[in-house]
Amino acid sequence: MKNIIVGQSGGPTAVINASLYGVVTEGLKSSGVGTVYGMVNGIEGFLGGHYMDLSGLSAEDLEVLRLTPAAYLGSCRYKLPEDPHSPVYPTLFQKFERMDIGALLHRGK
């Protein structure tokens, strides 16, 4: 069983939290998913160790999330380096491995 991590970046949209709701609810329905994590302030926050367990949100909290404007997880404007040899990538992949991440979903520009 693997975990999912989801992040938000760029500007908030009218449906960004509805999309997050979908990721959490569908992820938790899947027998192959353990925990759904959220990156607090996108990749930049995740690199700094900031993330949350979204699996524990109640059904009521998820419904409120689905209808709430803005970006629940917070946002960032950090752009990943174009150079595939950047030291950022080994750091990211090490973190994903430690957290047993099998899927990354990230909405951003």
Distance CA(44)–CA(31), nearest Å, equals 30
- Total residues belonging to the chain: 109
Residue 78 clears pLDDT 80, i.e. is over it: yes
What is the domain class of 2-107 according to CATH? alpha beta
Helix (H, G, I), strand (E, B) or coil at 46: helix
Instruction: Give the side-chain half-sphere CA count within 13 A for 1.
Output: 10
Helix (H, G, I), strand (E, B) or coil at 8: strand
Model confidence over 5-56: pLDDT tens digits? 999 887 777 788 999 999 999 999 999 999 999 999 999 999 999 999 999 9
Model confidence over 53-75: pLDDT tens digits? 999 999 999 999 999 888 899 98
Q: Is 21 exposed, middle or buried (0-12, 13-18, 19+ CB in 10 A)?
A: buried
